[in-house]
A and B are shown apart, each in its own frame.
Chain A
Amino acid sequence: MELKIILSVIIVSFGAFFLLIGSIGLIRLPDFYSRAHATGKSDTLGIMLVITGLIIFEGFTINSAKLVIMIIFVALTNPTATNALTRAAFRFRLRPWFKKDQKINVREREK
């Protein structure tokens, strides 16, 4: 009983850590593509870890079966939404951020 609670708390804390990393990346990274990279991966992993911890806490019941279905749909839909967003941005000719071309970009913006 104690071991179950400790394990679930550890896994939920890992999930919260990955969610925090994704949020920091969303604020700190320079352009749209790298922000989508941060949120698309680490948020998916964070949500999946949080739900896994809740499954361990809940035990072998009908509620944990619903949580397993939630994990499957989060793993399906969250990367797909990120893919659709980045693809739309790429086809809209949004330029990625480069360190060498930064001055060129600034000049083009000034035109």
Chain B
Amino acid sequence: MIRNEDNPIVGLVSRIVSPFIMLFALYIIFHGHYSPGGGFQGGTMLAASLLLIRLAMGSEIAQLQFKRSWGTPLGSIGVLIYFATGFTAMLMGGTFLNYEFLSLSEIASHTRSIGVLLVEIGVGLAVMGILVAIYDDLLEGDPDV
């Protein structure tokens, strides 16, 4: 594998562009009710911004940003948020993922919106963590990286 760490142009532009990709991913997650997008797409773009730094600067430097051991726990936390929202609605008397029964706000539509947002955040965290974990697992034990 060709090392790209000593190419200053790619490293600089990746470091400039990566925070904006993260910002756009958060916009996609939080604006998913009104426009195309949602948890899966936003989580994929979050993972893309992390993998851009990994590809451009090398895996060793990228450990400062997102450690190798964080991927699987973050994915598990995302799945936990998703199922916790669903089962809380079940415990409050509704069916699985019936956001009306969460009783987060007085207005029913407001409650439903917050419930969907919680689920989307969980899905986004899960997708981001698992994609970064897949990349790190594929490269594990490669002495050249």
Interface residues of A (CB under 8 A from B): 73, 76-77, 80, 83-84, 87-88, 91-92
Minimum distance in angstroms from B100 CB to a CB of chain A: 34
A-B contact count (CB 8 A): 23
9-residue interface stretch from B4-12, B87-95, B111-119, B134-142 = B4-12
Which of B10, B16, B17, B20 is close to A84, meaning CB atoms less than 8 Å apart? B10
Q: Is B2 an interface residue (CB 8 A)?
A: yes
**B2: chain A residues within 8 A (beta carbon):** 88, 91-92
Q: A88–B4 contact, CB under 8 A?
A: yes
- B residues sitting closer than 8 Å to A (CB atoms) are 2, 4, 7, 9-10, 13, 16-17, 20
Q: Which residues from B are CB-within-8-Å of A84?
A: 4, 7, 9-10
- Distance of A76 Cα from B16 Cα, bound (Å): 9
Closest to A89 in B: B2
Q: Which residue of A has the minimal Cβ distance to B3? A: A91
